[in-house]
Copies of this chain bind each other. A is one copy, B any other.
Amino acid sequence: MWSLHCSVCTYSQPDGTKLASLCPDCSQPLLVRYAAPVPKSAITGDASLWRYGAALPLLAGERAVTLGEGMTPLIELPHLAAEIGVRRLWVKDEGINPTASFKARGLMMAVTRAKALGLSGVCVPTAGNAGIALAAYAAAAGLPCRIYAPETTPPPILGSIRAFGADLQLLPGHIGDAGKATLTFARESGFFNVATVREPYRVEGMKTMGYEVAEQLGWRLPDAIVYPTGGGEGTIGIWKAIGEMLDWGWLPRETPRPRMIIAQAAGCSPLVRAFRAGEEKATPWEDPTTHASGLRVPGPLGDRLTLRTLRESGGEAEAVSEDAIRSGTFLLASKSGIDAAPEGGAALEAARQLVAAGRLSRDAEVVVFNTGSGASYRW
């Protein structure tokens, strides 16, 4: 059993099974809390994130809407470790997911809850990959689905959304503008708005990335995790998982937590700016511009939670130029065989820049996330 708790104020909703969105008291994100520790022995042999199903918000008798998401490869790259100047480097390749990005994990969970609760439809604003994921899982669930996306979203991503039969609405502007349209539509239609951290379920799917890193490293943690960050749910989810694994005894209690490091595009880096300025929340970025469309999120709702994660973990935040994103993406793909997305290239370059600046130790063992597939950016 689980309950819901505000990430900022003291609000809680004891019956986790009722539909939830933002905190009714302070409008900040809610998070799921489990009543009892989930034992490590509850992990199953599944070759998907459902091996951690006991730690996900699903009730007895409910069926997951699954496409086999998760348990993505974690690949060690000694040559690239030498190239960027750290002791060991792994890339977690989230492109090897249904819908070709990490978004599958979270949208699976949101659609599973929507289906279990008998909702009439789902909707989301997207910078790209979340739209593909919602469209796919809504198709799997047989739920009507509407997606709002900037008209500048890469055409292959728009094509994927349409391929799943979703109702795709293109808008001028950025994901923030799409978010406003989604809010209005959700209010009028009764569709469930599953925008990043506007509901507490996506983060639960996302956290499985943290479980997987620990298990794939042989139940230990790296020194640093570098995550390319738009809305923030990946970072928030992984940090939540680390806390749970320590609380629940999946890892020894004295295990040092990794430094959580976010990479953003120089053309849209509200979280880097806020982190460096010591702010608790981010001011929306003016005129966001980057070809890494997943990073084009000027005013993320998960700003407080992400910034808190960086501070609690002794982490870092680094912005990467468009040229460096391009060169990092090609470096990663051509030296590893991983089909790097621009977001993955940004994360690799952020690690390199931080090492060069002396803000990430050359002795560190580092996990870098490639959050999607490069194929989504080729046309």
Contacts and interface: CB of A to CB of B under 8 A. Distances in A.
A71 B47 contact: yes
Contacts of A334: 139, 163-165
Interface in A240-255: none
B330 A163 contact: yes
A378 B136 CA distance: 16
Interface in A1-33: none
A93 B67 contact: yes
A101 to B, nearest CB: 11
A330 B71 CA distance: 27
Interface string A113-152: 0000000000000000000000011111110000000000
Interface size class of A (residues with CB under 8 A): 35 or more
A349 interface: no
A89 to B, nearest CB: 14
Nearest to A377: B159
A375 B333 contact: no
A37 interface: no
A213 to B, nearest CB: 13
A375 B376 contact: yes
A70 to B, nearest CB: 9
Given A47-B71, A73-B67, A73-B98, A160 B375 contact: yes
Given A96-B97, A136-B337, A379 B71 contact: no
A155 B155 CA distance: 13
Nearest to A132: B339
A187 interface: no
A153 interface: no
Given A45-B45, A378-B155, A93 B100 contact: no
A349 to B, nearest CB: 16
Contacts of A330: 163, 165
Interface in A142-188: 142, 155-156, 159-160, 163-165
A193 interface: no
Contacts of A155: 378-379
A284 to B, nearest CB: 31
Nearest to A334: B165
Interface string A44-83: 0101100000000000000001111001111100010000
Contacts of A379: 155-156, 159, 378-379
Contacts of A376: 375
A140 B340 CA distance: 13
Contacts of A48: 73
A371 interface: no
Contact of A99 (B160, B339, B340): B339
Contacts of A262: none
A338 interface: yes
B93 A96 contact: no
A237 interface: no
A38 to B, nearest CB: 20
24 contacts: A48-B73, A67-B93, A67-B337, A67-B338, A68-B74, A68-B96, A99-B337, A99-B339, A136-B333, A136-B337, A138-B337, A139-B335, A139-B337, A141-B337, A155-B379, A160-B339, A163-B330, A163-B333, A163-B334, A163-B378, A164-B334, A373-B375, A375-B376, A378-B379
